[in-house]
Chain A
Amino acid sequence: MGGAEILFQGETISRLLSGLMVTIRISLVSVAISIPVGVVVGIAMSSRHLLVRAVLRAILEFVRVMPQLVLLYVVFFGSATAFGLDLSGEAASVIVFSLWGAAELGDLVRGALASIPPIQYDSAYVLGLSRMQTFVHIILPQALARLMPPTMNLVSRMVKTTSLCMLIGVVELIRVGQQIIDFNRFQYPTGALWVYLAIFVMYFLVCWPLSIASRRLERRWAA
């Protein structure tokens, strides 16, 4: 069962790492966009306007119920037909993951806001704070603190989900791996095994610490 040498020849590792950087870049950019959008969406979803809530809910449910790969197809293939845009695979990915992340975070923000016990509003009221002051100084900070763990979790899910980008032609970690396998198919016939194993390990090494951190934080807030 030889063939592991494929990982140590030439530029295999450095090429895989550059693929990993694309994966991480797409994830981080998407999360960076999701956070502010998600907070705004979450606040809007706590609004008293029935119409605002209904419309947002419909959009968010659609984004959350559809497989991310379906969304990628819709944006990547659909944007050209519908708007005549020629989006790159990476741009389509960032759009989809930002949308998805904002939907997930929006729901988390809404949940966190709803979970603040009413007594908090009452105590702020009897202390003489205005509604806006109560929201900014009392409610929002508590809600955001609760959001730290799920946000870390979202980053980790984001990294895993970027694996789908290769299916719309983005040259990220997996695609780079395939190129290496193809290029060495005669010299290392068992290369696929080792390269996919290496990719598996690389994803794990990025996502695992994020999951652990998320769990630690969760326990800290719970305590």
Chain B
Amino acid sequence: MDWGFIAKYAPLYAVAAQVTLFVSLWGIVAAMLVGLVVALVIHAKVPVMRQVASAYVELSRNTPLLVQLFFLYFGLPKVGVTLPAEACAIIGIAFLGGSYMSEALRGGLESVAAVQEESALVLGMAPGQSFVHVVLPQALVAAVPALVANVIFLIKESSVVSGIALADLMYLTKDLIGLYYDTSEALLMLVIAYAIILIPVSVAGTVLERRLDHGRG
């Protein structure tokens, strides 16, 4: 190991990690919003919209993020829609993540027993009140494990944004390997950088899960 190399280039990894985090974070936020809308449309069985939402979920889940990104970044400019790479990355992650988030939320909604809604109704609540005060809070708690898994999944998936020339952790690593051949050092820093990002998310998810779960049933 060349520790001098590691010391010298560690700051570059910090900068690259910010790129990874930037596109992941905004992509995840957008994915949550998309997921919530899609889950509600499908759960409430809104006619027509529901079919559109289901078609989106299938398309998004069954195609690779890299192809989605290439289409956005290389394909769309050919018809006059030119977006910066960061925007493509965030849109791509939101497009992919939206379906995963919606499935997680839908799972949460379905896990709430029908008698919970009935109890709220016989207590005089309107269907909307019952959804907001009784069903949704429970559904969100039930969905936390799946939502956290999706957050981790999307941060991992964001590693492919190097494919559209964003200077994230993967891009930097490949650059350093190509320039200096200090392969082991570059790879070690890459692995450590992802561990530093992902392990706290995973731990925080577990803690959140425990804090929220008042033991159902």
Task: Contact check, B194 vs A77: say whether CB atoms are below 8 A apart.
Answer: no
Task: Contact check, B174 vs A73: say whether CB atoms are below 8 A apart.
Answer: yes
Task: Contact check, B170 vs A207: say whether CB atoms are below 8 A apart.
Answer: no
Q: How far is the CB of B168 from chain A (nearest CB, A)?
A: 10
* Known A70-B191, A196-B70: A207·B63 in contact at CB below 8 Å: yes
* Known A74-B187, A190-B79, A200-B63: A69·B199 in contact at CB below 8 Å: no
A-B contact count (CB 8 A): 116
User: How big is the A interface, by class?
Assistant: 35 or more
Partner-binding segment picked from B3-11, B39-47, B155-163: B155-163
Chain A residue nearest to B183 in the complex (CB): A81
CA–CA, A1 to B156, complex, Å?
Answer: 35
Let me know if B208 is at the binding interface, CB within 8 A: no
CA–CA, A68 to B152, complex, Å?
Answer: 13
Task: Contact check, B75 vs A197: say whether CB atoms are below 8 A apart.
Answer: yes
* Residue among A1, A68, A77, A163 making CB contact with B183, cutoff 8 Å: A77
Task: Contact check, A77 vs B71: say whether CB atoms are below 8 A apart.
Answer: no
* Known A1-B79, A82-B184, A208-B58: A73·B64 in contact at CB below 8 Å: no
Select the residue from B75, B76, B160 with max chain A CB neighbours within 10 A.
B75
Select the residue from A66, A73, A167 with max chain B CB neighbours within 10 A.
A73
Task: Contact check, B78 vs A78: say whether CB atoms are below 8 A apart.
Answer: no
Let me know if A142 is at the binding interface, CB within 8 A: no
Task: Contact check, A68 vs B67: say whether CB atoms are below 8 A apart.
Answer: no
Which residues from 61 to 108 on chain A have a C-beta closer than 8 Å to any C-beta of chain B?
65-70, 73-74, 77-78, 80-82
CA–CA, A193 to B71, complex, Å?
Answer: 6
* Residue among B61, B62, B70, B187 making CB contact with A73, cutoff 8 Å: B187
Let me know if A125 is at the binding interface, CB within 8 A: no
CA–CA, A193 to B76, complex, Å?
Answer: 6
CA–CA, A128 to B200, complex, Å?
Answer: 48
* Residue among B65, B68, B78, B157 making CB contact with A190, cutoff 8 Å: B78
Task: Contact check, B190 vs A73: say whether CB atoms are below 8 A apart.
Answer: yes
Tell me the interface secondary structure of chain A in the complex: helix
B173 cross-chain contacts in A, Cβ below 8 A: 73
Let me know if A164 is at the binding interface, CB within 8 A: yes
Task: Contact check, A69 vs B78: say whether CB atoms are below 8 A apart.
Answer: no
Task: Contact check, B71 vs A66: say whether CB atoms are below 8 A apart.
Answer: no
Let me know if B113 is at the binding interface, CB within 8 A: no
CA–CA, A171 to B41, complex, Å?
Answer: 41
B195 cross-chain contacts in A, Cβ below 8 A: 65-66
Which residues from 22 to 69 on chain B have a C-beta closer than 8 Å to any C-beta of chain A?
58-59, 61-68
Let me know if A189 is at the binding interface, CB within 8 A: yes
B71 cross-chain contacts in A, Cβ below 8 A: 193, 196-197, 200
Let me know if B177 is at the binding interface, CB within 8 A: yes
Let me know if A34 is at the binding interface, CB within 8 A: no
Task: Contact check, A167 vs B162: say whether CB atoms are below 8 A apart.
Answer: yes
What 1/0 mask marks residues of chain B from 128 to 165 whose CB sits below 8 Å from any chain A CB? Answer: 00000000000000000000000010011101101100
Task: Contact check, B64 vs A161: say whether CB atoms are below 8 A apart.
Answer: yes
Task: Contact check, A69 vs B160: say whether CB atoms are below 8 A apart.
Answer: yes
CA–CA, A192 to B62, complex, Å?
Answer: 21
**Which residues from chain A sit less than 8 Å from chain B, CB to CB?**
1, 3, 65-70, 73-74, 77-78, 80-82, 156, 160-161, 163-164, 166-167, 174, 181, 189-197, 199-200, 203-204, 207-208, 211
Given contacts A1-B79, A70-B191, 13 further A-B contacts (CB under 8 A): A69-B159, A74-B191, A78-B187, A80-B183, A81-B183, A160-B64, A163-B66, A164-B160, A193-B78, A197-B75, A200-B68, A203-B67, A208-B58
